[in-house]
């Protein structure tokens, strides 16, 4: 942890043309430089074809966007809550905290369930992250962890964060063994790691980073198998599709876009841009035909992949703070959202109404995941605890 | 007391505050008594909660929560216990903070201002400052010592000016200032700056750059990173992407939405949160029977589980027990090689990169694809040609087309027949359907919580077991359970 006070130079000689002007502080290839606005424009224009200027590209882009919205609207013949009118309303929903896991010395940032439905791994801001096993904990030597994931076999855990890397730790039976020695660095990004997930096996990891890219890595060799470019700002979250072909995933970022990618070709297949602020969390609907996203604009939205549009917005005037994480119940009827105002809101996915609001955490809810068999969900918070609700 | 929030939250909170102060629809403010003084334009905690409940149609608990957030972020401050930034739903008086002091105004809250405030307080209270304020005061005195004369002069001037105001106004102004500084210089050790680590990473030109706060700042990343260095490139690509997107085929909304309803209905009874789970939810009753009945090695699966295999082919394949039973059926039908081939392809797709060439050359080609192979699979000629061509340069995806072909073959042919077969029907009949235990039966029995078997241990035992089998030596393996 370093004590650095960042000073911004706002007026002075430009690094490029040496004229004394108001400056913009930008990064080029990770180096901080100070250019005047004219030089920045010039630099940005490299990459234009003949007869193209930044302005023409922008207008073309805008017209295409409106056309796309028109196309999407053509097939939009029904709203979800209309279609769902015939569905029975949910009865009174009773859900309570069944376990409170204390022991993290600092804010809980991320957690994941093991496939055995009972274990979880959780990570925190400063202290090494823990592997929890029904009240027992094993400490892993890793700091600044913002993302963690359990391997499908349950034999390893991946984690990463401000160290720009994703490392895999094999879990051993000997509690006293030095786990740091067995660590394997798999992913290397040029900025912080925001999310990671194993694909169907222990051998591949998908990561997303603050450098605006996602990447697929081979665990054994650490080799980069595929990288995904298309976000214009930090990518904050990702989720793998539970589809038959198992070849796509969705990512959400600070550019307010949610992109669906083809893992094989590295191409962005679909893009959705209706949120008004950073997208903090994305999660697929259990059937794989849709996904939900939670954002700093205090709304959760449902996007249908086949209809290629947003189909529902889950929001309320009294909810002011952003959503940090979302997840579906097993049948997809309920959507759980962890919010920055310390609460968890439960939404009826079909009717679009809020079923319940859960209090209990004493600080921002940072992560929320439903267990693999749907019997409970776990929420982690900046109040240093994890709660299991059922 | 972490008041972590983003710019958006502030504008939204301000909207609520402005609505509250609306002369017609807002809260009715009155003069409130504070000891012997009368404060104008104040309201009670109760008023706030009731107004929120009415305006947003929410319950009391939520209204209290929202109001509390407003107090914590400094938009409303308490008059009675100014240090305690909490909303009390009773007759305690509160006031709206003046917009000048709103957190979103990005008023730099510089050290100089804070120093002046503390000096004023020091003078007024004749040196009786609270601990953390005293600490800060001393720190500041050291840090900006060269301006101290100015600070003291300013403080004295401001105190003199306030003495000339009416007592009620003076109290109000003091409270406003105090509330403002409580938010901006919270007493808790300031390990976390106002914007969180990640938020800071997300926002360019964060607010706290030049105001040297007494908090450590780390790792500032700027959003302009990717944007500027590839502006035109991004936009150009964006245009291409949009053109492609226009040409995509879409499905009517009504059809898509119907499928959600169908899915939710189908899985309703399988969702423990909607329907409970027989015999009981282990997290609620501490009874792990539910888990014990649904392991991968159980001999008789539960009814719900067997039913689920009939929903989708993927459900059957992704459940190890389901796959096993399906394999048994296929063996009877002499078409097991399809599933074996599919599994081998999965192994290639998700296995280690280094072993791909070896796996690809041996398994699919020798065993499955070559004519006369021991486990020959029926792939159409076009796919076969493409695959064989790709095998010359083996990569992770070389078997994809063939795998897809076989997958859909199984899905359209073997799977429906399996569901109609006696084997499957027998499974359904014999399946266990545990009774839901009524919680009232065991109200006071506290069950002992056991740890689940360590997956790493299980994996190791399986490996050792496998090794022993290969070596052909008899071996007694210890059961993979931990106390």
Q: How far is B89 from chain A (nearest CA, A)?
A: 17
Measured CA to CA, the distance from residue B395 to residue B356 in angstroms comes to 7
Q: How far is B270 from chain A (nearest CA, A)?
A: 7
Q: How far is B352 from chain A (nearest CA, A)?
A: 6
Identify the closest residue of chain B to A134 by CA–CA distance: B451
Give contacts of B302 with chain A, Cβ < 8 Å: none
Neighbouring-strand partners of residue A198: A205
Confidence tier at B232 by pLDDT (50, 70, 90): very low
Average the pLDDT over B271-300 and give the result.
84
Q: Is the pLDDT of residue B312 over 50?
A: yes
Greater confidence (A137 vs A180) lies with A180
Measured CA to CA, the distance from residue A297 to residue A277 in angstroms comes to 5
B130 inside 8 A of chain A by CB? no
Q: How far is A96 from chain B (nearest CA, A)?
A: 9
Query: Poorest-confidence range of A35-39, B100-104, B123-127, B370-374?
Result: B370-374
In this structure, are residues A231 and A259 in contact, taking their beta carbons and an 8 Å threshold? yes
Q: Is the pLDDT of residue A261 over 80?
A: yes
Average the pLDDT over A152-178 and give the result.
78
Tokens describing residue A174: 């000997």
Give contacts of B230 with chain A, Cβ < 8 Å: 47
**Interface ipTM:** 0.80
Average the pLDDT over B379-394 and give the result.
77
Q: pLDDT (tens digit, 9 = 90+) per residue, A279-301?
A: 999 999 999 999 999 999 999 99
Measured CA to CA, the distance from residue B62 to residue B67 in angstroms comes to 9
Q: What is the mean pLDDT of chain B?
A: 74
Identify the closest residue of chain A to B248 by CA–CA distance: A308
Q: Count Cβ–Cβ pairs < 8 Å, chain A vs chain B.
A: 353
Q: How far is A266 from chain B (nearest CA, A)?
A: 13
Q: What is the DSSP string of B340-375?
A: HHHHHHHHHHHS-GGGHHHHHIIIIIIIIISTT-TT
Tokens describing residue A307: 């209809």
CB-CB under 8 Å, B270 with A296: no
Angle at B293 between CA B288 and CA B299, to 5 degrees: 150
Eight-state DSSP code of residue B448 = P
In this structure, are residues B321 and B298 in contact, taking their beta carbons and an 8 Å threshold? yes
Measured CA to CA, the distance from residue B138 to residue B171 in angstroms comes to 26
Give contacts of B197 with chain A, Cβ < 8 Å: 125, 162
Give contacts of A199 with chain B, Cβ < 8 Å: 350
**Closest by Cβ to B352, choosing from A28, A87, A220:** A220
Q: Is the pLDDT of residue A124 over 70?
A: yes
In this structure, are residues A71 and B245 in contact, taking their beta carbons and an 8 Å threshold? no
Q: Is the pLDDT of residue B276 over 60?
A: yes
Q: Is the pLDDT of residue B46 over 60?
A: yes
pTM, entire model: 0.77
CA distances (Å), origin A390, targets B62, B112, B341: 21, 52, 41
Q: Percentage of chain B surpassing pLDDT 70? A: 73
Greater confidence (A361 vs B245) lies with A361
Greater confidence (B29 vs A382) lies with A382
Measured CA to CA, the distance from residue B42 to residue B55 in angstroms comes to 19
A58 inside 8 A of chain B by CB? yes
Confidence tier at B236 by pLDDT (50, 70, 90): low
A81 inside 8 A of chain B by CB? no
Give contacts of A376 with chain B, Cβ < 8 Å: 272, 281, 283
A254 inside 8 A of chain B by CB? yes
Nearest C-alpha neighbor of A81 from the set B470, B72, B261 = B261
Identify the closest residue of chain A to B210 by CA–CA distance: A7
Q: How far is A217 from chain B (nearest CA, A)?
A: 10
In this structure, are residues B39 and B95 in contact, taking their beta carbons and an 8 Å threshold? yes
Considering only CA atoms, give the Rg of chain B.
Answer: 35
Q: Is the pLDDT of residue A176 over 80?
A: no
- Using DSSP's 3-state secondary structure scheme, residue B198 falls into helix
B392 inside 8 A of chain A by CB? no
Q: pLDDT (tens digit, 9 = 90+) per residue, A54-101?
A: 677 778 888 888 888 888 888 888 888 888 888 888 877 888 998 888
Please state the φ and ψ torsions of residue A118, each to the nearest 5 degrees.
Answer: -125, -20
Average the pLDDT over B462-470 and give the result.
56
CB-CB under 8 Å, B236 with A173: no
Tokens describing residue B76: 């409303």
Residues 132-191, chain A: which have Cβ within 8 Å of B? 133-136, 146, 153-155, 162, 170-173, 191
Query: Poorest-confidence range of A260-274, B227-241, B349-363?
Result: B227-241
B338 Rama sector, left if φ>0, alpha if ψ -120 to 50, beta otherwise: alpha
Residues 285-324, chain B: which have Cβ within 8 Å of A? 290-291, 294, 313-314
Average the pLDDT over B427-451 and give the result.
65
Confidence tier at A155 by pLDDT (50, 70, 90): confident
**Closest by Cβ to B202, choosing from A8, A117, A254:** A254
B153 inside 8 A of chain A by CB? no
In this structure, are residues B114 and B21 in contact, taking their beta carbons and an 8 Å threshold? no
Bond prior to B312 in cis (omega within 30° of 0): no
CB-CB under 8 Å, B454 with A173: yes
Eight-state DSSP code of residue B413 = I
pLDDT for residue A355: 92
Pick from A150-159, B92-101, B450-459 the range whose average pLDDT is largest.
Answer: A150-159
Q: How far is B319 from chain A (nearest CA, A)?
A: 12
Measured CA to CA, the distance from residue A14 to residue B440 in angstroms comes to 77
Question: How many beta carbons lie within 10 A of that of residue B28, not counting itself?
Answer: 8
Nearest C-alpha neighbor of B405 from the set B385, B378, B431, B428 = B378
Q: pLDDT (tens digit, 9 = 90+) per residue, A302-327?
A: 999 999 999 999 999 999 999 999 99
Tokens describing residue A328: 């579906």
Measured CA to CA, the distance from residue A280 to residue A299 in angstroms comes to 11
pLDDT for residue B289: 85
Average the pLDDT over A5-21 and give the result.
64
Q: Is the pLDDT of residue B344 over 90?
A: no
**A132 Cβ contact list (under 8 Å, min separation 6):** A101, A119, A120, A121, A122, A386
Q: What is the mean pLDDT of chain A?
A: 83
Identify the closest residue of chain B to A116 by CA–CA distance: B455
Q: pLDDT (tens digit, 9 = 90+) per residue, B289-311?
A: 888 888 888 888 888 899 999 99
Q: Is the pLDDT of residue A107 over 70?
A: yes
Q: Is the pLDDT of residue B14 over 80?
A: yes
């Amino acid at each position: 942890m370093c004590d650095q006070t960042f000073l911004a130079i706002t007026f002075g000689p430009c690094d490029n043309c040496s004229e004394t002007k108001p400056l913009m502080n930008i990064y080029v290839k990770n180096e901080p430089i100070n250019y005047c606005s004219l030089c920045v424009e010039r630099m940005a224009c490299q990459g234009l074809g003949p007869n193209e200027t930044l302005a023409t590209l922008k207008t073309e882009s805008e017209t295409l966007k409106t056309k796309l919205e028109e196309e999407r609207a053509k097939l939009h013949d029904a709203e979800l809550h209309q279609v769902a009118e015939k569905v029975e309303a949910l009865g009174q929903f009773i859900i309570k905290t069944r376990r409170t896991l204390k022991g993290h010395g600092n804010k809980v940032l991320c957690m994941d369930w093991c496939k055995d439905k009972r274990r979880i791994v959780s990570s925190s801001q400063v202290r090494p992250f823990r592997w929890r096993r029904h009240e027992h904990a094993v400490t892993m030597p890793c700091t600044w962890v913002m993302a963690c994931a359990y391997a499908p076999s349950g034999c390893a855990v991946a984690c990463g964060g401000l160290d720009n890397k994703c490392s895999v730790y094999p879990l051993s039976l000997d509690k006293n063994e030095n786990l740091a020695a067995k660590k394997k660095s798999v992913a290397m990004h040029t900025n912080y790691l925001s999310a990671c997930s194993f694909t169907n096996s222990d051998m591949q990891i998908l990561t997303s980073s603050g450098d605006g890219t996602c990447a697929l890595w081979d665990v054994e060799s650490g080799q980069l198998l595929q990288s995904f470019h298309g976000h214009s700002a930090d990518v904050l979250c990702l989720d793998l599709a539970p589809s038959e072909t198992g070849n796509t995933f969705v990512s959400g970022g600070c550019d307010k876009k949610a992109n669906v990618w083809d893992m094989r070709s590295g191409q962005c297949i679909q893009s959705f841009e209706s949120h008004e602020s950073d997208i903090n969390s994305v999660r697929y609907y259990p059937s794989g035909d849709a996904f939900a996203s939670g954002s700093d604009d205090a709304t959760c939205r449902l996007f249908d992949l086949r209809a290629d549009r947003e189909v529902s917005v889950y929001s309320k005037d009294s909810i002011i703070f952003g959503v940090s994480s979302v997840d579906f119940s097993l049948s997809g009827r309920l959507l759980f959202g962890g919010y920055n105002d310390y609460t968890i809101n439960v939404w009826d996915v079909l009717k679009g109404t809020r079923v319940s609001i859960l209090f209990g955490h004493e600080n921002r809810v940072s992560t929320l995941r439903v267990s693999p068999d749907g019997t409970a969900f776990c929420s982690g918070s900046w109040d240093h605890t994890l709660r299991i609700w059922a | 007391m972490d008041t972590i929030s983003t710019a958006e939250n502030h504008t939204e909170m301000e909207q609520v505050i402005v609505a509250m102060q609306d002369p017609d629809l807002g809260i009715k403010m009155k003069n409130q008594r504070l000891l012997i003084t009368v404060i104008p334009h104040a309201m009670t905690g109760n008023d706030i909660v009731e107004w929120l409940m009415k305006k947003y149609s929410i319950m009391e608990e939520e209204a209290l929560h929202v109001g509390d957030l407003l107090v914590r972020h400094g938009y409303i401050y308490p008059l009675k216990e100014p240090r305690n930034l909490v909303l009390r739903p009773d007759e305690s008086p509160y006031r709206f903070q003046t917009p000048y002091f709103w957190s979103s105004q990005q008023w730099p809250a510089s050290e100089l201002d804070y120093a002046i405030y503390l000096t004023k307080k020091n003078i007024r209270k004749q040196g009786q400052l609270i601990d953390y304020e005293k600490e800060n005061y001393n720190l500041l005195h050291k840090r900006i010592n060269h301006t101290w004369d100015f600070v003291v002069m300013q403080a004295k001037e401001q105190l003199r000016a306030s003495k000339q105001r009416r007592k009620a106004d003076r109290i109000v102004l003091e409270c406003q200032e105090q509330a403002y500084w409580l938010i901006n210089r919270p007493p808790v050790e300031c390990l976390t700056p106002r914007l969180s680590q990640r938020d800071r990473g997300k926002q360019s030109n964060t607010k706290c750059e030049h105001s040297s706060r007494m908090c450590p700042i780390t790792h500032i990343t700027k959003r302009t990173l990717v944007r500027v260095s590839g502006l035109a490139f991004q936009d150009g690509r964006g245009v291409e992407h949009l053109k492609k997107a226009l040409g995509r085929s879409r499905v009517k909304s009504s059809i898509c939405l119907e499928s959600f309803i169908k899915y939710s209905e189908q899985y309703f009874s399988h969702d423990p949160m909607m329907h409970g789970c027989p015999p009981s939810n282990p997290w609620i009753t501490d009874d792990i029977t539910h888990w014990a009945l649904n392991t991968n090695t159980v001999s008789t699966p539960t009814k719900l589980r067997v039913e689920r295999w009939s929903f989708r082919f993927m459900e059957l394949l992704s459940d190890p027990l389901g796959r096993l039973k399906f394999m048994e059926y296929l063996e009877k039908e002499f078409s097991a090689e399809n599933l074996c081939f599919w599994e081998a392809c999965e192994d290639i797709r998700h296995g280690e990169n280094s072993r791909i060439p070896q796996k690809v050359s041996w398994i699919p080609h020798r065993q499955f694809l070559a004519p006369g192979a021991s486990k020959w699979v029926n792939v159409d000629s076009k796919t076969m040609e493409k695959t064989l061509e790709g095998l010359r340069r083996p990569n992770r995806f070389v078997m994809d087309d063939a795998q897809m072909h076989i997958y859909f073959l199984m899905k359209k042919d073997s799977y429906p027949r399996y569901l109609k077969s006696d084997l499957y029907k027998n499974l359904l009949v014999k399946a266990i359907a545990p009774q839901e235990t009524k919680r009232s039966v065991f109200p006071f029995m506290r069950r002992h919580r056991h740890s689940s078997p360590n997956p790493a241990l299980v994996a190791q035992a399986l490996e050792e077991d496998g090794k022993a089998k290969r070596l052909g030596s008899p071996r007694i393996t210890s059961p993979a359970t931990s106390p």
